[in-house]
Amino acid sequence: MNILVLNGPNLNLLGTREPEIYGRATLDDLARDVQAAFPDVTFAFFQSNHEGELVERLHQAHRDEVDGIVFNPAAYTHTSVALRDAVSAITPPVIEVHMSNVYAREAMRHVSYIAPVAAGKIVGFGMRGYHLAVRYLVDAAQEAAQ
C-alpha cells in the first residue's frame, strides 16, 4: 500500500511554532512515528508553503495511483479553491487532518474548502490524527479488496 502524507504551509515549523497548540514534535518525528506504526505501508512525505506545489503533488499522487492521501492543508484549508478542485479531481481518497481542534479556534478556521470533497476529516488529536487517517485508509483498502 502506498500513502502520501501531504502538509501545507508553516508545518515545516512544527516543533518550534506555537508548541502550546502543536506540540514539540517535528515533521521528521511524524514521519518516523507513522512509518514505525505502519511498517507494511510505503509512505511519501511532502510539505510545501506554496499552494501550486501542493496542487502539483496531488496531481502526481493521482498519476502514481497512490492508495490514499493524508492531507493537512493548514491555512489553505480555509482559502484555497485550487486545492479543493485538485482533491475533487483525483481518485485516491483524501483524509483531511488538522492537529488542533479548528472548531475551538478562531471562526475563520471553522470553514474548510477541502472537507466537502474529502473522504473524511480528523481534527484535534495532534499527530495522532495522522495515525488515525492512515488506519482508516489501510482498513478501507483491505475491506475493498475482500
Cell numbers placing 95: 483524509
Catalytic residues: 22, 98
Between CA 5 and CA 121 the distance in angstroms is 14
Residue 28's alpha-carbon distances to 2, 47, 94, 99, 134, in angstroms, are: 18, 11, 21, 15, 17
Which residues fall within 8 angstroms of residue 13, CB to CB, at 6 or more apart?
none
**Beta-carbon contacts of residue 73 (< 8 Å; ≥ 6 apart):** 6, 8, 54, 80, 83, 96, 114
